[in-house]
Each structure stands twice: as structure tokens, then as C-alpha cells.
Structure 1
Amino acid sequence: MTSASTRQEARAKFLREQGWHDARIEPLTPDASFRSYARLRRAGDGCMLMDAPPAHEDLKAYLDITAHLRALGLRVADTLGTDLEAGFALIEDMGDDTFTRLLDAGHDAEPLYLLATDVLKALHAHPKAVEVDVPPYDMAALLREAELFVDWFVPAFRGSEASKTEKQRYMDAWQGALKDVARVRSALVLRDYHVDNLMITGGTEDIRHCGLLDYQDALLGSPAYDLVSLVEDARRDVPSGLRAAVMERYTAGMQDNEVTALERDMALLGAQRHAKVAGIFVRLSKRDGKPIYLGHIPRVLRLLSSALKTPELAGVRESIEAMVPDYESARF
């Protein structure tokens, strides 16, 4: 029996136990993770099936963070049924109105982005947001992610792996650049905060109508991370005027020195994220057979190059340019 058929049988068993065995199953387009989703429909009713294979995904983490975000007053899908051991959950179907779909259909971008900004402000201001048992976004985690660039992007682009000396120089440069921001624990970082993972479940004026997705890998770290993820999106160009509106909204009431520190941390964590994403997109193509992500590489590298102009990142920039001097030209 193949693993696929075994998984299918486990899914059928779960649906029988939950009373959804008679539903019509409509698979959704897979994302970059090992999770998959399907819409379950039957007369007058519907929900979503989350398939999170235990060997690759932590369903408990999703459920725990979901409960925590709900307690903070944020909009997340209701949990309708679970089997932790098998890695299945039934969750509320919040509809199809992701920010991405709305933007692609011509919806005005600014109200959506400002709503997303208001959600972040509320999350970052909530005194109990960090009262949750998740790991810190510490130096080890940040370096492990930055390493993906040198392990996957560099050899794919230049045709040879980085030498031990090249890699060490690169990692040392990151450690020096991130030494301060890696100690910050003031925010619950959702980590993939961008328009693909945000939904409208009502109007665009109330944060309770902004549905959140894909937050199960949340960590405690800097508020700058999710903010830069929103305005420096790997999959979508964000016009400078829209970014400025987001920053004006987020920094309202902040002191000048606080804004300066936030912008510095956004540059540092933005660069780290772009390096990580460049590596992940190559890995998704080469290891996981998902080449579609390679189309975003030029944007990611432009964002990386821009962030690397930050003085604190001079060492990182030099180490990258020494390994792949024309990395911005990469096309796969």
C-alpha cells in the first residue's frame, strides 16, 4: 500500500468519525508547506479539512496559536474537530476573499494594507500577546534561516557549493549584524504576514473582520519582522506610496528615535527574510518539485539588494558579493 493511499484511508476514517463522510471534497491549490486543504460541502453546510501530516507539520502548534490569537480578539477560523495523532482538523470555512484575490480583482489596495497594519498594531500592543509558549526568534533561528541562501541559492546560481571559508564569513557577518535584534522578545511574530495569508470576512474597517492564516510557526521576536513581511512581499510588488501609508499608520504616536530603530530593524530582518526566501524558493523547486516559486526570485533579490545598503549589513553584503557577485541577475 502506498503512503498516499494510506493517507487517503486515514482521511476517510477521520471524516467518518466527524460525521462528514458524505461531504463533497474540493481540494484547494497547495501552498509551499506540506499541509493541504480541501473544502467540504454538503447541503446547507460546509467547512475546511486541514491535512497536516504529523511527520512534517505540527498541528498542535496551529491549534494552540489559533486559540491564543482568538483570545487576543483577532479573527481566526473556528476549530470544529481534530485528530492530533493523525494530523487532521476541521476548521471554519472563512470564504475566498484573501487579500491576494481581492487585489487581483482590482480592489483598492490601501484599505486592505491599512487594515493589516491595524491588526499588527493591535497584536503588538496587546499586553498578553507574548504570554504564549512558543520559542524565541533568537540568533540560532535567524542564522538557521539565513543559511538557506548559501546552501540552496548559491550553488544553484553559480554551479558550485560555497567553500567552508565563504560560508563561515557569511554566517559571521549575519551574526554581527543581528546581534541586537536577535535579543528582542516584545512581539508575537506570525512570520508569514502578507496578503496571501490575510482575508476579509466582513468590512475593511474592523480588525475583527481580518482573517489570519498560516501562523502556526509563530515565535517571540521583533515587531519589525511581520511589518517588513507585509510591505516587502516576496510575491507582490508594493508601491512606495502604499508602503509609506502603512508606515505612517503604524508609527503614529511613536517618537522619532523609536521610528528610526523600527526602520533599522526592518532593514535587518527584511534582508534576513529575503535571503531565507531566496533559498527556500530554490529548495522548493529542486527538492520539492515546485518550480513556480522561481518566478519570484528576481523580486526577492531586488529587495535583498536594497536592504543590504543598510550600513549595519555591509559585512553581509560583502560576503554575498564575494560568493555571487552578480546575484541580482539570477534567473532560473
Structure 2
Amino acid sequence: MIPPAHAPAFLDTAGWTGAEILPLAGDASFRRYFRVMRGDETAVLMDAPPQHEDSRPFLAVARHLETIGFRAPRILAENLDAGLILLEDFGDARMKEVIDAEPAAEHLIYGQAIDLLADLHGAAAGTLPPYDMPVYQREAGLFPEWYMPAVGLTADADAYTAAWDAALAPIANDQSITVLRDYHAENIMLLGDGSLGLLDFQDALAGHAAYDLVSLLQDARRDVDPALERAMIDRYAARRPFDEAAYALLGAQRNAKILGIFTRLWKRDGKPRYLAFQPRVWRYLERDLAHPALAPVRAWFDAHVPAQARASFWADHAA
């Protein structure tokens, strides 16, 4: 986590001459984050090398969210050719760690995150690209592409695609709301004014309301008690329409995608730490597949992925 050599010059142009640059975080992409400190002032420097990351969607979504009344980090300075963006610092009170330290606050904080989604789903999606069948299929296709060979299996990819086409057809054209696509406890910040700050939203699309509910309540990185999940679904349903079948469909689609992504991070990118999450993701996927709306997809998994290639496989492989 050494800052790029051109970072001080960028900070000079942004009015942060002489600021200290400290490592903050990396993520599953090529993006890296640094905290910039000058006296009592702080900001966050995002390093997104332009040969690997297109930061224009991040800027566009951040401004869209601000326009419709939500807390994305304010853009303080940007140089896309250099791959650098200076952002408002949301601090260190991330939802996951706050709940880990204060378990009694879990219900309250999840309720706040659900209320944010209900508010977001009442706002216009603007000009975001559509979350349509080609996108769903491209994401779900990461499972046969990366997961299957990693566990020594071959896939009937055409049958897999046909199964998803059949299952997702009832909801694939619902593109009415902003879908953040990675809305979970590691991407939500608790801010000093009591509001929630949003992170990692650059891939936002206009899609179905159930997707971000799944992201939050079927969290690949932490256990969400089924009773809490149910209570939060009921909380959402008290304010906005909720479709149980869509929740299962998009849960299965997202979890199949995540199994593929985490396997790719291991095989291609040398990041085996994500393998520890695979058993949890399998539990979510198998529960989602039990819904009648997933019958064609469940049949494919039953035919092609035996029990020993599912959650139990990762006991010997997780870092």
C-alpha cells in the first residue's frame, strides 16, 4: 500500500500541499484507498489506475446519489487521466465493525439500512444503465466459467443459460429503481450526524428492488440471523412492495455470481482469503434454490453440482 508517485502533485493541485498519505484499504478490484491528513483535516484518496478501472461511473453515481438526497462521499478533486480522486472522509465507523463491537445495536442499524433502501426505491433511477437479462446472464455465467473447473467439474453452459432465462423472465424487465449492487455491512458507514454513508456504488444500475435487499440480508461476508432477515424484510414490506419470488431469484443469481467471483479472485488474482466465505454463500444459494420460482435452475444444479463440490469442498481450501 505505497501511494502512487504522482499523488503528492495531485494533492498540490487540490489544495492539500504537504498532506500526509496513509494506507487505508484495498478491495477486490484494482482500487486502493489512502487517508490524507493535514492537521485536523482528513480526506480519502482513491487510486484507480485508468488502465484497469474506469472511474467515470463512480463519479456519475456519486453525483446522482447526492442529487436525490443520499450520502455518497463528496468529490473534492479528480484527475481521471492520473486515476486519482479525492473524496470526503466518512471516518472509520463501518457498519460491520460497529455491530461486531456492539451486537445489541444490530437490529437498530439494519433497520436504518432498510429504511435507506425504502427511501432510495422511492426516488428516480435517473439515467443509470439497465440491469437487464444480458447483465444477469453475464454475472450468473461466472459460476460455470470459474467455479465449475476449480472443483473439477464440467458444465452444460447452454442448459445453465436456458435455466436462468426461464427463471428470470418474470422480473428481467423491471428496471425502475437504483440498484447499488454491493449494498452490505462493509460498504455502509455510520456518520456523525446519524445518517448512513454509501460506498462502492460505481456499478449501480437501474433494476429490481429485491437485489439490494439480498445484498444486505444475504451478506457473503457476515452471518445474518434468519430472524433478523425476516424482520427486515417485513420492515421493508411495510413501506414498499416486496416480492418473495424475486427475492429468491435475485438471491440465487447473486450468490451464484459471488461463488464464481470469489473463485476467480483465488485462481486468477491470487486472493484466497475470499474462499472462507464460500460455505456461507452456498447456504444462501441452496435456500434460494428451494423456492418454486427457481425450479429450472435448481434442476441444473442438482444435475451438475454434487454435494461434495458445494460448501464442504471449501473446508480444505479456505485460507
In which range does the TM-score fall when normalised by the shorter chain? over 0.9
Say if 2:8 and 2:18, in contact at 8 Å, map to a contact too.
Answer: no
Say if 1:193 and 1:230, in contact at 8 Å, map to a contact too.
Answer: yes
In the other structure, the counterpart of 1:330 is 313
State the identity as a percent: 46
Secondary structure at the counterpart of residue 181 of structure 1: coil
In the other structure, the counterpart of 1:167 is 157
Residue 312 of structure 1, aligned match among 270, 281, 293? 293
1:16 counterpart = 2:12: yes
Q: In the TM superposition, what whole-angstrom CA distance separates every residue of 1:274-327 from its partner, at most 9, and x where no partner exists?
A: 000000001111111111100000000110011001112122112122222112
- Runs of 4+ aligned structure 1 residues displaced above 4 Å come to none
In the other structure, the counterpart of 1:113 is 110
In the other structure, the counterpart of 1:137 is 131
1:303 counterpart = 2:284: yes
Please show how residues 39-118 of structure 1 align to structure 2 within 5 Å.
Answer: 39-107=35-103, 108-118=105-115
The alpha-carbon distance between structure 1 residues 253 and 160, as it changes in their structure 2 partners (threshold 3 A), is: closer
Secondary structure at the counterpart of residue 195 of structure 1: coil
Q: In structure 2, what is the Cα distance between the partners aligned to 1:249 and 1:311?
A: 24
Secondary structure at the counterpart of residue 38 of structure 1: strand
Q: In structure 2, what is the Cα distance between the partners aligned to 1:76 and 1:244?
A: 28
Secondary structure at the counterpart of residue 270 of structure 2: coil
Say if 1:151 and 1:161, in contact at 8 Å, map to a contact too.
Answer: no
In the other structure, the counterpart of 2:179 is 189
Q: In the TM superposition, what whole-angstrom CA distance separates every residue of 1:154-184 from its partner, at most 9, and x where no partner exists?
A: 1111x2443xxx1111111011101121100
Say if 1:305 and 1:328, in contact at 8 Å, map to a contact too.
Answer: no
In the other structure, the counterpart of 1:244 is 230
Q: In structure 2, what is the Cα distance between the partners aligned to 1:289 and 1:13?
A: 32
Secondary structure at the counterpart of residue 85 of structure 2: strand
**Offset of 1:17 from its aligned partner?**
2.3
1:224 counterpart = 2:221: no
Q: In structure 2, what is the Cα distance between the partners aligned to 1:8 and 1:236?
A: 32
Aligned partner of 1:181: which letter?
I
Aligned partner of 1:179: which letter?
A
Aligned partner of 1:121: which letter?
A
1:282 counterpart = 2:263: yes
**Offset of 1:21 from its aligned partner?**
4.3
Secondary structure at the counterpart of residue 277 of structure 1: helix
What is the TM-score when the length of structure 2 is the normalising length?
0.93
Aligned partner of 1:251: which letter?
A
**Offset of 1:56 from its aligned partner?**
2.2
The alpha-carbon distance between structure 1 residues 139 and 313, as it changes in their structure 2 partners (threshold 3 A), is: same
Q: In structure 2, what is the Cα distance between the partners aligned to 1:247 and 1:216?
A: 25
CA RMSD in angstroms, aligned pairs only = 1.7
Q: In structure 2, what is the Cα distance between the partners aligned to 1:8 and 1:76?
A: 24
The structure that is helix-richer by fraction is: 1
1:177 counterpart = 2:167: yes
Q: In the TM superposition, what whole-angstrom CA distance separates every residue of 1:205-255 from its partner, at most 9, and x where no partner exists?
A: xxxx1000010100011000001111111111111221122112111155x
Contiguous gaps of at least 5 residues in structure 2: none
The alpha-carbon distance between structure 1 residues 212 and 298, as it changes in their structure 2 partners (threshold 3 A), is: same
Deviates more, 1:263-272 or 1:56-65: 56-65
Please show how residues 245-264 of structure 1 align to structure 2 within 5 Å.
Answer: 245-253=231-239, 258-259=241-242, 262-264=243-245
Residue 149 of structure 2, aligned match among 149, 152, 155? 155
Say if 2:184 and 2:215, in contact at 8 Å, map to a contact too.
Answer: yes
Aligned length, in residue pairs: 312
Deviates more, 1:95-104 or 1:238-247: 238-247
What is the TM-score when the length of structure 1 is the normalising length?
0.90
1:291 counterpart = 2:272: yes
Q: In structure 1, what is the Cα distance between the partners aligned to 2:233 and 2:313?
A: 30
Aligned partner of 2:274: which letter?
Y
Say if 2:278 and 2:311, in contact at 8 Å, map to a contact too.
Answer: no
The alpha-carbon distance between structure 1 residues 247 and 11, as it changes in their structure 2 partners (threshold 3 A), is: same
